[in-house]
Structure 1
Amino acid sequence: MKIDLSGKTALVTGSTAGIGHAIARGLAAAGADVVINGRTKAKVDAAVVSIVRAVANAKVRGVAADVSTAAGCEALIAALPQADILINNAGIFEPKPFADIPDEDWSRFFETNVMSGVRLSRAYLPDMLKRNWGRIVFISSESALNIPTEMIHYGTTKTAQLAVSRGLAEMTRGTAVTVNSVLPGPTMSEGVEVFVKDLAKANGLSVEEAASNFVKTFRPTSLLQRFASVEEVANMVVYVASKEASATNGAALRVEGGIVQTIA
């Protein structure tokens, strides 16, 4: 299968690093005109340069805007009034005991993880429906199904993303627009890699041993028995954003290594 997204404009929020950056790189390699997004111009510019160097003939530009706020979403939409592909990837997480999570954290997580996607989808979906083609993908998590007791507020926002995604998909009935969610599991992004290296150093283990022990301890049902790479997650997202994925709509697609023990 050759995925060709030439002529399509793709916006990936939170794409200066990690899964978002891998998605942006994958979409650029498939020929899409990619718009990188992050909070600061410096990080956005660096991410653009990184993709230009990695992907021959990449068409990529950046827009610095904080999509965790309504004002930031408005600024991004003003800079990019139309998009064919919207990847709602921006998100935050933080382990914290439930009793220690204040209202402010609940609000901050909801604004960042849920409302960013709501606001941007509200802006871009109507035009996708009018033009009869578009792709919206929410980057959720296996934590949407297995709510982690160490960060219930995070898991709650990931479940909310599934509800928003499915609800929006219902609005696309009979069109060539699709809305789906992708659910990664533990993934070796830059931030996680630093955490695992610190864990390895503290316990006198190799990075590989520390990563394996972490998965076996905290995600014991994993069939993969390791962290996924950001590219493995991005591969699923690029497919879902493609013309070839036209019959995939309203789905919650798991890239979590078999952690979730259900048959559907």
Structure 2
Amino acid sequence: MQIDLAGRTAIVTGSTGGIGLAIARGLAASGARVVVNGRRAPAVEQAVSAINGLGAGGAVGFVGDLGTAEGCAALVAAHPECDILINNLGIFEPKDFFETPDADWTRFFEVNVMSGVRLSRAYLPGMEKRGWGRVVFISSESAFNIPVEMIHYGFSKTAQVSVARGLAERMAGTGVTVNSVLPGPTLSEGLADMLKPEQEKTGKPMEELAAAFVMEHRPGSIIRRAATVDEVASMVVYLASPQASATTGASVRVDGGVLGTI
């Protein structure tokens, strides 16, 4: 399958590292012009430079906090149209329910949910007018497998799936698809940083430590390891492609079989 996104503009929120950067690379490699986003200029510049070094569609940067209404408005002002919107921006933090104040619930809702709501509201009308578009929310298997150690995070991921499904139905018959992707445990920078002290202590390869982490915290994993960021990105790039025109309103799993339902 040859995915050709030449002539398309893609926005990937929170894309200076991890899954977001892998998605941005994959879209650019398929010919899309990608807008890379982060809150810090050096990280954005580094990501843009790395993607442009690959050739193909290339990238430009936008520095801003899309977890705020003002940040989203600034992005739309700078880049008023796009064909592909990847709502990847997200935060997580293990914290017991009884120690999670209102401010944390609000912060998670603003960053994980409202960033995608605001940007979808801004960009979907243009996609509808042009008769083609792709919106993907990067949710999580935690949307259905709510982690007891961070219920507020799981709640925000369930909300993303609900918004994506509702928007898919709202855009029915327009040529615009809206889907959510559910990654499972993934060996991104965040997990690697968390496991780094153990690696320094034991000298074990990061992949081995990540696999042990998965089996401890998600023992239902069928692949019995952490996914790579590129494995998640490959699914997202497919959903952003013309070939995925009949897939909409779906919650697509890249969870390694963690979710035990059929």
Range of TM-score over shorter length? over 0.9
- Tell me the residue number matched to 2:10: 10
- Tell me the residue number matched to 2:253: 254
- Tell me the residue number matched to 1:97: 96
Unmatched tracts of structure 2, length 5 or more: none
Superposed displacement of residue 46, structure 1: 1.0
- Tell me the residue number matched to 1:181: 180
Q: Distance in 2 between matches of 1:30 and 1:204?
A: 37
- Tell me the residue number matched to 1:22: 22
- Tell me the residue number matched to 1:45: 45
Amino acid across the alignment from 1:143: S
- Where 1:15 maps in the other structure, the secondary structure is coil
- Where 1:14 maps in the other structure, the secondary structure is coil
Residue deviations 1:65-123, cap 9 Å, x none? Answer: 10000000000000000000000000000011111111110000000000000000000
Aligned length: 262
Q: Distance in 2 between matches of 1:103 and 1:240?
A: 35
- Tell me the residue number matched to 1:86: 85
Deviates more, 1:55-64 or 1:121-130: 55-64
Amino acid across the alignment from 2:34: V
Q: TM-score, normalised by structure 1?
A: 0.97
Superposed displacement of residue 203, structure 1: 5.9
- Where 1:150 maps in the other structure, the secondary structure is helix
Q: Distance in 2 between matches of 1:154 and 1:202?
A: 30
Amino acid across the alignment from 1:39: R
Q: Distance in 1 between matches of 2:93 and 2:65?
A: 19
Q: Distance in 2 between matches of 1:27 and 1:145?
A: 28
Amino acid across the alignment from 1:168: L
Answer yes or no: is the 8 Å Cα contact 1:200–1:209 preserved in 2.
no
Q: Indicate yes or no: 2:169 matched with 1:163.
A: no
- Where 1:129 maps in the other structure, the secondary structure is helix
- Where 2:86 maps in the other structure, the secondary structure is strand
Aligned-residue RMSD, C-alpha: 1.1
Amino acid across the alignment from 1:149: V
Answer yes or no: is the 8 Å Cα contact 2:207–2:226 preserved in 1.
no
- Tell me the residue number matched to 2:114: 115
Q: TM-score, normalised by structure 2?
A: 0.97
Answer yes or no: is the 8 Å Cα contact 2:30–2:57 preserved in 1.
no
Answer yes or no: is the 8 Å Cα contact 1:183–1:256 preserved in 2.
yes
Identical-residue share of aligned pairs (%):
62
Q: Distance in 2 between matches of 1:149 and 1:121?
A: 30
